[in-house]
Amino acid sequence: MAIVDGFLKVEHRPRKRREWPHISRLQGWQVCIAYGSGIWALDFGTCLRGRSETFAHRGIGEEHPESEVIGVDLSPVQPGLCVHQRALGGYDTDCISTPPNVHYEIDDLEEEWSFSRNFDYIHSMMMTGAFRDWPNFYRQAFENLNPGGWVECQDINFPMKCDDDTIAPQSDLGRWNELMMEAGTLSGFRLDLCDRAAEMMSAAGFVDIVRIPYKWPINQWPKDVRYKTLGEWTEANFVFGLESIMLALFTRFLGWKKEEVWEFIARVIAEWRDLRNHGYFEIYVTYGRKP
């Protein structure tokens, strides 16, 4: 995650980074919401144990080797002996074992949480469209944190933005943008709420709230090298994931046939990769503390 200048940024060479005080003092139990493949929980847990070569924030493990990490998701897709990580040019396979301080649980966090312990840190990333009731998510996060514990959400906000009118509303990419918003609203899983995370955290009782905005270009259109790299990864992630993002929303709530969705995806991808289209997404990292 090169969007973040500190702990949760994949970075293989030293560079100046933002300090993250809520991370630097972590200990005890941590939970990763919707861990997906389990990579984040693995790296996070390994980092806490002082062995990470991926995350830029080093040294936490030496200070807090007692930390335990739980990854929670709806699906049992945690890694076994081998983890397949998608790269820009294909698939790389890392054969790894799950560290002893990393655990996985299958649960639906839209329901009432039923963990057997409270946490010191709750982390959520890329959960836009995952919950119908975000205020309830923050309420339950508050209830399941120890006093002094932190919640952090890193998320993408829809719709896609364009400041120079290079993406016409009637283009396939412009239509995709509007249709995603429409489908999200019809389904109840709105896609435009992460910019209100600070407000919802405050309503749940959190204090010392910090909100940091970022921008993700949709492809490599920027001249700046850092943003060009961000655009490269944004394009790869979306092109790879458009079908999983769109299929249920478009068929269940917009009445499209699967074949229509697949045909539309092909056209959207073609425009997504066009460097003349200067789109970007707003990304927000928001964190707050339970008093």
pLDDT at 42: 45
Residue of 28 and 166 predicted with greater confidence? 166
Class of the CATH domain delimited by 30-290 = alpha beta
Q: Which amino acid, one-letter code, is at 29?
A: W
Continuous H helices in the chain: 21-24, 39-48, 60-63, 134-143, 172-187, 197-204, 225-253, 258-272
Give percent above pLDDT 70 in the chain.
Answer: 69
pLDDT at 65: 52
Q: How confident is the model over 231-288, as pLDDT tens digits?
A: 999 999 999 999 999 999 999 999 999 999 999 999 999 999 999 999 999 999 999 9
| 137-143: average pLDDT | 96
In order of 49, 86, 208, 235, the CA distances from 241 in angstroms are 32, 11, 35, 10
pLDDT at 23: 54
Q: How confident is the model over 27-84, as pLDDT tens digits?
A: 555 555 544 444 444 444 444 443 333 332 332 333 345 677 777 777 665 554 344 4
pTM assigned to the model: 0.76
Residue 15 predicted with pLDDT over 80: no
